[in-house]
């Protein structure tokens, strides 16, 4: 946990830290410019012993007793200082940062500080060119990736010198009280449990014990959820500075290339028009066309998906230039034309209205063609689908077909209607054969990784679901501000964007937006080691997907690769584990030893690759293995396109991953239906960091299942994936402790992501207790004393204060918080409960559960899908709880009327907890009713059955009959003289 009032270094972005006396480190006592000790040491070693802001000398007594006015020329002194720093691996990557004040001090003649820094980079570059064969020491200063900055003209130096992004910590006035209340609530919880345990209810011991167990688990869950939010931060990216640094006028763009991945399975449940809009928004993104490639994975091998992509490629020739000419936002035509805004605002071109009308007409015609294809595909011919040339469609059997690749657009191929180049668009359908395990979406994503590496090999990958379109055309530039930064991007595995959704009702009845998670939890994780990967809207560093360790961190020792949380002193690994460790070290070393692989001839290359046994890790493809050694990506210009296509077909073969590390250490990790959580967790266990990017205009928007049944099935899938991870070897409770690269609070966050489904067991018990107490006349709490009343009051106040202060620093509304709380109960007593049982059946008994893909399109009527009710067993537990508690409330009031005045006091507490359950389940009840005559008959029958059963139980309890002592009755009978 971080102390309140933490300041961050303006050079590297890390915490400034404390000095030898335990006080906040201050380098300059004149202007108090925040800069950490590691950056100050580097400045002094480079001959710059004055403050970057005010120019005054650094205080010698604050820098380890060293005279800051002297320029140390001895490199051993600097090495000694680095060796004594605990965060050497972290700060070794910060020395190439150019702080904000550098640009403020720059004038037209150039700043000496900036000139000295550029000269030092030139000298280091010359030394590195003489030592190509040896990798850099981990404690030496890395050479910046932007060597072109050496030749910048003075006019562009200022913009290039500024950082591409900054960290904006939450203000002390908001974060200080928030942390104080968290600690206060933790203390109150301890006192509360002390009282509850030491004051049992003898008359209802079973109910009391059950409530104690549930409350302890709820407190444990709160700790797992709360403390990873201890240090929330915000980030701001500067796309204009990115352009100034990498897109100088008159020169080719130096921005890194990006490969976009779009995944689809069933075109009848994931409408081709939705997928096409996603593809069109990608092709029209505000980024150099030669740096963008879009790969569409059709894992269902449907001819409908292929034909719709043909139409989409043709329409893109009109749509892309229109978007770029008039700066259209968003660049998905369906969502652009459906906007209810003044489209003439800020559009002053006289031709805009005419061209917009023509484009809308073209789009409507395009929609007609797509809908015609969909209508045709509703009924499959007996002989299978046939392509236009008369040949049979290879994917007629979706479970047994060859691999298919089709390049529709390209940098040097098709052009738009104005003669400009278009990004590459590639259709991919991996091979499938009976007898092979294909690993669903994770396997499809790994196939795209290999195909893209062979064809384009961009250093960065952005994956999107088929229903998540690019809402902000500059989103890729936002991500590049982090990934291409020589400091921040060095140890960055991915940049995660929040998920935003269209088509959700204003009240967000079922918390589809997940606002609390994306605007609260993810900001908190960004202040630790980074947000978790949520499956879409994420830009990856390709090298991180290949299983390499971060450049600034040393390889894990052989004895530290264990997954056990309590590694023994003696090595317990078998030969296979030691072999894997050795191969991982060889792969990590290859990145540094084989940077100049283009200088080798074909024979030397094949010998090197064979010698390192890369085939046993990446598979039997020399072309793909060579691509993994190119840290900056790219494909050789002399490569034969036909040969590359042939190799791409080879790497998507269903047997390619056999006896390799794919899905185990490389790419998307197998073993869970929520492969996203598992993939991000493996990366961060290796020491990688991630970044959360929240631009003002949402980067991506998608469709969410807004009706109750689909929403519960979606939550069921997520919860089942968490249970699978919990029962696997990758469980955060014991995996990756030996390396020590996953921070404690980050591990708590991952533990929370895999244990939250188990909260369903105590939750459903706790929601049943109020009804049982009302029906039996017993209660889980004894007669309250003044101390107990104070503890209960303090607990409720601390809960309210925590929520209010959380809303204050996050900007989330109270309605979002309440909806999230309601659906936590609804999902907990339904989907999470089923996920726990299905997870154990799948992992222990081998009984697999098949999930249907959630429909991505709604009815024509606005929010029409909200009122659709599809019968599912997930509706049974919440329905039962509602009926039980309603029956209990009626029974409680009836008993109080029969019992007299003294019965009303205990009734208040019981009814309060019963209404707590009913209010939380109210959105479920409202969704269950739907519109008039839309409630399924099965639900009505189930409700009547449950009401009858519990009514009979209530009658058996006889609440209206006063309890009479049988001994007194017998004594009365004896005294009567008959």
Helix and strand element counts for the chain (H, E): 35, 13
Question: Nearest Cα to 440, choosing from 297, 302, 304?
Answer: 297
Q: Determine whether the annotation assigns residue 637 to a binding site.
A: no
Q: Determine whether the annotation assigns residue 440 to a binding site.
A: yes
Could you give the CA distance from residue 519 to residue 513 in angstroms, rounded to a whole number?
Answer: 10
Instruction: Find out whether 700 and 468 touch, Cβ atoms under 8 Å.
Output: yes
Instruction: Find out whether 497 and 237 touch, Cβ atoms under 8 Å.
Output: no
b/e burial code for range 109-127 (CB count within 10 A of at least 16 → b) = eebebbeebbebbeebeee
Q: Residue 899 — left, alpha, or beta (φ > 0 → left; ψ -120 to 50 → alpha)?
A: alpha
Overall size of the chain counted in residues: 978
- Residue 696 sits at the vertex; the CA angle it makes with 691 and 698, to the nearest 5 degrees, is 75
Half-sphere exposure of residue 477: CA atoms within 13 angstroms, side-chain side: 19
- Residue 61 sits at the vertex; the CA angle it makes with 59 and 63, to the nearest 5 degrees, is 75
Instruction: Find out whether 672 and 216 touch, Cβ atoms under 8 Å.
Output: no
Three-class DSSP category at 191: helix
Burial (CB count <10 Å: 0-12, 13-18, 19+), residue 215: middle
Instruction: Find out whether 58 and 30 touch, Cβ atoms under 8 Å.
Output: no
b/e burial code for range 601-631 (CB count within 10 A of at least 16 → b) = eeeebeebbeebebeebbbbbbbbbbbbbbe
Q: Does the annotation count 299 as an active-site position?
A: yes
Could you give the CA distance from residue 842 to residue 12 in angstroms, rounded to a whole number?
Answer: 47
Could you give the CA distance from residue 339 to residue 359 in angstroms, rounded to a whole number?
Answer: 15
Task: Indicate the angle between helix axes 708-726 and 744-755, nearest 10 degrees.
Answer: 120
Catalytic member of 298, 299, 816, 895: 299
Catalytic member of 676, 710, 816, 895: 676
Instruction: Find out whether 773 and 779 touch, Cβ atoms under 8 Å.
Output: yes
Q: Determine whether the annotation assigns residue 263 to a binding site.
A: yes
DSSP state of 857: -
Q: Determine whether the annotation assigns residue 270 to a binding site.
A: yes
- Phi and psi at residue 429, to the nearest 5°: -135, 110
Residues ≥6 apart with Cβ < 8 Å to 459: 256, 257, 541, 542, 543, 631, 632, 633
Task: Indicate the angle between helix axes 760-776 and 814-828, nearest 10 degrees.
Answer: 80
Could you give the CA distance from residue 620 to residue 597 in angstroms, rounded to a whole number?
Answer: 18
Instruction: Find out whether 731 and 754 touch, Cβ atoms under 8 Å.
Output: yes
Instruction: Find out whether 479 and 462 touch, Cβ atoms under 8 Å.
Output: yes
Please name the residue that has the structure tokens 């790219």: 634
758 token code pair:
């188990």
Question: Nearest Cα to 662, choosing from 539, 581, 575, 547?
Answer: 547
Could you give the CA distance from residue 412 to residue 579 in angstroms, rounded to a whole number?
Answer: 45
- Residue 329 sits at the vertex; the CA angle it makes with 327 and 331, to the nearest 5 degrees, is 95
Question: Nearest Cα to 331, choosing from 272, 261, 284, 273?
Answer: 284
Burial (CB count <10 Å: 0-12, 13-18, 19+), residue 637: exposed
How many Å separate Cα 126 from the centre of its chain?
Answer: 41
List binding-site positions for Mn(2+). Answer: 441, 465
List binding-site positions. Answer: 263, 269-270, 299, 440-441, 465
List binding-site positions for UDP-alpha-D-glucose. Answer: 263, 269-270, 299, 440
Active site residues: 299, 676
């Amino acid at each position: 946990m971080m102390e309140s009032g933490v300041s961050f270094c303006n050079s590297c972005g890390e915490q400034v830290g404390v000095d030898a006396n335990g006080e906040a480190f201050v380098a300059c006592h004149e202007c108090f410019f925040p800069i950490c000790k590691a950056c100050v040491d580097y400045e002094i070693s480079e001959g710059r012993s004055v403050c970057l802001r005010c120019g005054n000398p650094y205080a010698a007594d604050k820098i380890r007793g060293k005279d800051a006015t002297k320029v140390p020329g001895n490199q051993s002194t600097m090495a000694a200082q680095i060796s004594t720093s605990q965060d050497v691996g972290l700060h070794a990557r910060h020395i190439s940062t150019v702080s904000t004040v550098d640009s403020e001090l720059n004038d037209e003649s150039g700043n000496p500080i900036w000139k000295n820094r550029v000269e030092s980079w030139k000298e280091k570059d010359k030394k590195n060119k003489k030592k190509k064969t040896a990798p850099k020491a981990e404690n030496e200063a890395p050479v910046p990736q932007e060597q072109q900055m050496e030749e910048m003209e003075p006019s562009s130096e200022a913009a290039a010198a500024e950082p591409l992004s900054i960290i904006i910590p939450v203000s002390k006035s908001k974060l200080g009280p928030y942390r104080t209340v968290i600690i206060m609530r933790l203390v109150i919880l301890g006192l509360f449990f002390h009282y509850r345990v030491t004051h049992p209810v003898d008359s209802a011991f079973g109910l009391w014990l059950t409530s104690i167990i549930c409350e302890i688990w709820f407190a444990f869950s709160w700790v797992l959820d709360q403390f990873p939010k201890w240090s929330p931060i915000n980030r701001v990216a500067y796309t204009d500075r990115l352009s100034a640094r990498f897109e100088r006028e008159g020169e080719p763009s130096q921005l890194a290339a990006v490969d976009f991945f779009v995944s689809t399975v069933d075109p009848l449940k994931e409408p081709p028009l939705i997928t096409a809009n996603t593809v069109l928004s990608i092709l029209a993104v505000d980024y150099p066309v030669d740096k963008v490639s879009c790969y569409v994975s059709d894992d269902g091998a449907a001819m409908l998906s292929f034909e719709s992509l043909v139409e989409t490629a043709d329409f893109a020739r009109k749509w892309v230039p229109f978007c770029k000419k008039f700066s259209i936002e968003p660049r998905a035509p369906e969502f652009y034309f459906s906007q209810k805004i003044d489209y003439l605002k800020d559009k002053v071109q006289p031709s805009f209205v005419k061209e917009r009308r023509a484009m809308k007409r073209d789009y409507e015609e395009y929609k007609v063609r797509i809908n015609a294809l969909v209508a045709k595909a509703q009924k499959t011919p007996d002989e299978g689908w046939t392509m236009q040339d008369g040949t049979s469609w290879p994917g007629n059997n979706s479970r047994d077909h060859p691999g298919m690749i089709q390049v529709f657009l390209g940098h040097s191929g098709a052009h738009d209607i104005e003669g400009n180049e278009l990004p590459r668009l590639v259709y991919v359908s991996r091979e499938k054969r009976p007898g092979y395990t294909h690993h669903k979406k994770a396997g499809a994503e790994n196939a795209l990784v290999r195909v893209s590496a062979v064809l384009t090999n961009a250093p960065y990958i952005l994956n999107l679901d088929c229903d998540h379109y690019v809402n902000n055309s500059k989103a890729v530039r936002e991500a590049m501000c982090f990934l291409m930064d020589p400091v921040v991007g060095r140890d960055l595995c991915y940049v995660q964007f929040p998920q935003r959704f269209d088509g959700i009702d204003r009240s967000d009845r079922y918390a589809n937006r997940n606002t609390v998670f994306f605007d609260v939890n993810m900001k908190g994780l960004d202040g630790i080691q980074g947000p978790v990967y949520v499956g879409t809207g994420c830009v990856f560093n390709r090298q991180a997907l290949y299983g390499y360790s971060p450049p600034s961190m040393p390889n894990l020792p052989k004895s530290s690769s264990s997954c056990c949380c309590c590694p023994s002193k003696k090595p317990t690994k078998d030969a296979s584990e030691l072999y894997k460790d050795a191969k991982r070290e060889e792969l990590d070393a290859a990145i540094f030893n084989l940077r100049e692989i283009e200088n080798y001839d074909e024979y030397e290359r094949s010998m090197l690759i064979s010698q390192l046994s890369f085939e046993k890790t990446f598979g039997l493809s020399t072309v793909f293995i060579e691509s993994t050694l190119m840290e900056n990506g790219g494909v050789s210009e002399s490569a034969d396109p036909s040969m590359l296509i042939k190799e791409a077909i080879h790497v998507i073969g269903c047997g390619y991953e056999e006896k390799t590390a794919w899905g185990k250490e490389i790419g998307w990790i197998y073993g869970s239906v929520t492969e996203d959580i598992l993939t991000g967790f493996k990366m961060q266990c290796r020491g990688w960091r991630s970044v959360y990017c929240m631009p003002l205009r949402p980067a991506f928007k998608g469709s969410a299942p807004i009706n109750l049944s689909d929403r519960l099935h979606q939550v069921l899938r997520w919860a089942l994936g968490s249970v699978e991870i919990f029962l696997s070897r990758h469980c955060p409770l014991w995996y990756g402790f030996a390396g020590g690269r996953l921070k404690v609070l980050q591990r708590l966050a991952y533990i929370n992501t895999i244990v939250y489904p188990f909260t369903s067991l105590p939750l459903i018990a706790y929601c049943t207790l109020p009804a049982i107490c009302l029906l039996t006349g017993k209660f889980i709490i004894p007669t309250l004393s003044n101390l107990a009343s104070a503890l209960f009051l303090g607990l409720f106040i601390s809960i309210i204060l925590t929520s209010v202060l959380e809303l204050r620093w996050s900007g989330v509304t109270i309605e979002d918080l309440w909806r999230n709380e309601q659906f936590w109960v609804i999902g907990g007593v339904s989907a999470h409960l089923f996920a726990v049982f299905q997870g154990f059946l799948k992992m222990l008994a081998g009984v697999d559960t098949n999930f249907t893909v959630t429909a991505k399109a709604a009815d024509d009527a606005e929010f029409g899908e909200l009122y659709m009710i599809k019968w599912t067993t997930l509706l049974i537990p919440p329905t039962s709880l509602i009926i039980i508690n309603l029956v209990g409330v009626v029974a409680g009031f009836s008993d109080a009327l029969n019992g007299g005045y003294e019965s009303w006091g205990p009734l208040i507490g019981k009814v309060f907890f019963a209404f707590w359950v009913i209010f939380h389940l109210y959105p479920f009840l409202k969704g269950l009713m739907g519109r008039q005559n839309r409630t399924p008959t099965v639900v009505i029958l189930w409700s009547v059955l449950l009401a009858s059963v519990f009514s009979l139980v209530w009658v058996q309890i006889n609440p209206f009959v006063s309890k009479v002592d049988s001994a007194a009755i017998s004594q009365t009978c004896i005294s009567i003289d008959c």
